[in-house]
Amino acid sequence: MSESGYRILDEPRPGHLSHLIVRPFWPLLSLMLYGGWIAWPWLAFNAYALQGSSLRRELLLIAGALAAVVAIIVAVEVLEQTTGLPEWIYPYVRIGLIVGKITFGYLIYMSQERSVALYEHFAGPAQSGVFVVVAAWLADRFVVGLLASGPAILRLVLL
């Protein structure tokens, strides 16, 4: 945003995709409503378009969220194979996965919110993400149908 040699370190450096930056509320809402299939790529894209000081941290949090979900699923699968888990535990595992995803999403939201606030102060308002949320609502049944026919681990990670 600053054209001169002087630059505030926390100030985002949006590039040619800056016109697509949205407030991170919208990807977080899509995570809560539709799951990771839309939210993780959208959060990563928003971080890249924003080019804020926490870009690397945000991308690492997304990768960490995916890795944590996969690790939990694999751990439950291994425990089931070795010890045989009782049926009552699975709803709690599902709730734990949802809480974990939303926790990571909120951490990314908090990180991006600061950068977007600086972006809006220096460059103007961010875009509304309501159209992507509505498009995700329209596409959700199709995506869930595609994931239903795929591996169970993929469904648990992306939904």
- pLDDT recorded at residue 42: 96
Q: Kindly report the backbone phi and psi dihedral angles of residue 22, in degrees, each rounded to the nearest multiple of 5, phi listed first.
A: -120, 160
74, part of any domain: yes
Residue linked to tokens 């049944």: 141
Total count of domains within the chain: 1
Q: How does the average pLDDT of the chain come out, rounded?
A: 86
- pLDDT recorded at residue 138: 93
Residue 27's CB: how many other CB atoms inside 10 A? 28
12, part of any domain: no
7, part of any domain: no
Cα separation, 60 vs 88, whole angstroms: 33
Residue linked to tokens 């103007």: 124
16, part of any domain: no
Q: Are 39 and 61 in contact (CB under 8 A)?
A: no
Q: Kindly report the backbone phi and psi dihedral angles of residue 13, in degrees, each rounded to the nearest multiple of 5, phi listed first.
A: -120, 60
102, part of any domain: yes
pLDDT at 29 over 80: yes
The residue range of the domain holding 90 is 21-44+55-158
Length of the chain: 159
pTM of the prediction?
A: 0.84
5, part of any domain: no
Residue linked to tokens 């979900």: 69
130, part of any domain: yes
Per-residue pLDDT of 31-76, as tens digits, reads 999 999 999 999 999 999 988 888 999 999 999 999 999 998 888 8
129, part of any domain: yes
pLDDT at 3 over 60: no
Cα separation, 34 vs 144, whole angstroms: 9
